[in-house]
Structure 1
C-alpha cells in the first residue's frame, strides 16, 4: 500500500491494544488501506490539515478508534456529521460491519473521496451524503450522531436535533473540555457524560462529550 509502512502497521496494532481493542487481520488491513487512500488523496484534495503520514495513525486512526467502546453500547444507525476525510465514521464502519454509518459533508471533494473509500474497501454498511446538515432529511432518525472538531456544541445540537430521537446519543469529540460551550447548550440538550480519551501517540487533551435530549 503506497505511503503505508510496516511501522504504521505496528503503531496501529500497538495503539489499538492500548485502547483495549484487538484488531482482526481484515480490520487492520482495511484501516491501513483507508490510511493509504487518505495519504494519496490528501495531496490533491486537502482532506486533513495533518500532512505527515507518520502522524496520521495516532491523530486519525487511533483517535477515531478511541470512541469504539461508546459506540458499542449504543444503537444500530449512526450519522457522522461534517465527516471530512471520514473520521471517525470510516474507522467505526470498519469496526462495526453489522451497523450502518452515514457520512455527511457539504464539501463535494470530500464526499467524492469518501465514495472512493466505500468502493475500494467494500464497506456495504457505509452511506455517503453530500449535503448541508440543516437540509438533510433522512426517512428515520439516527440512534447516534458523531462529530469530530465539527462545530461548537451549541451548533452541533441546533443543526442536528432533527436527525435524532428522544433516546439518541450525540457524541462530540473535542480537545480540551469546552466548559464555555457546555454553558451555551440549548435547553433541550444536556451533558450525559464526559470522558477523557487517552489516545496513544497523541499530544494534548482529548475529550468525548455525550449529549442527550432533555425530556
Structure 2
C-alpha cells in the first residue's frame, strides 16, 4: 500500500475529509516533527507514514465493538495506534506508556488536537488500574502475545475485545498464547501488509490444567487452523 492508496482507504471510511482528516494530518505532522528529536518511528518508515503507521493503526477501528466503552492502548509509544484511534473515535481512550519522553509527546498531541476524551498513564501496564473493565485492548509492537495477555488481563473481563496487530511471528505467538489462555481467537488479514495480521481475541480467561491438556494440538493441526483463519 502506497500513500495514495492509504489516503483512498481512509477516504472510503470517511476519515480523510473534514475535521477528522484535519486531526489525522495534524497528528502526522506532529509525529514527523517529534521523530527528529526522539526515535519514535524508524527513518525508513517515514516516507511510508500513512500506510505503515496511520492506516495500519486505523484498520483496527472496523474490528472494534460499537459503543462508548473505554479503549486501552498498551505501550502506545509514538501514539500508534492510540493517537490515531483518538483522532477517529470520540469514546474515551487511555494510552499506557512508561517512557516519560513519549508521554510528554502524547500529552502535547492531546492538547494540540483538542482530544479531551484521551488521556495517558505514565506507568507500566501491570501497575495501571481502571474503574471498569476495558471494552477494547489494543497493542502494536508491544510484547509477544502470551506476555501481552498476562500483563493486561487485570484491565479486562470476558466482554473485552483485544485487537493485536502481529507480523510474521503471529502464528507462533498464537500457538504459545493458547497454551495458557482460553478464548475465541480470530485472525484478520492486515490491509497494509500481506505478511501481517490482526489477532482478535474475545472471551479471554486463564486456561485450567485440564482444559490446557485437552487443547493441546499437534503442530500440523495448529498450522491448519492458522491457514484457515488467515485466508
Structure 1 runs, 4 residues or longer, greater than 6 Å off: none
Deviation at 1:129, TM superposition (A): 0.7
Q: Does 1:210 align with 2:186?
A: no
CA RMSD of aligned residues (A): 2.1
Segment of structure 1 superposing worse, 37-46 or 178-187: 178-187
* 1:66-145 equivalence runs, <5 A: 66-73=59-66, 76-97=69-90, 99-145=91-137
> Which is richer in helix?
2
CA distance in 2 between counterparts of 1:112 and 1:51 reads 24
Q: Does 1:31 align with 2:27?
A: no
> If you compute each CA radius of gyration, which structure gives the higher value, 1 or 2?
2
CA distance in 2 between counterparts of 1:144 and 1:159 reads 15
Q: Any conservation in 2 of the 1:146–1:171 contact (CA below 8 Å)?
A: yes
The unaligned stretches of length 5 or more in structure 1 are 1-6
TM norm structure 2: 0.80
Deviation at 1:12, TM superposition (A): 4.9
CA distance in 1 between counterparts of 2:174 and 2:93 reads 27
Label 1:11 to 1:57 Cα distance change in 2 as closer, same or farther (>3 A).
same
Q: Deviations over 1:104-131 (max 9, x none)?
A: 0111110100000000000011011100
CA distance in 1 between counterparts of 2:159 and 2:109 reads 31
Corresponding residue pairs, total: 202
Q: 1:192 aligns with which of 172, 185, 195?
A: 185
Q: Which residue of 2 aligns with 1:181?
A: 173
> Which is richer in strand?
1
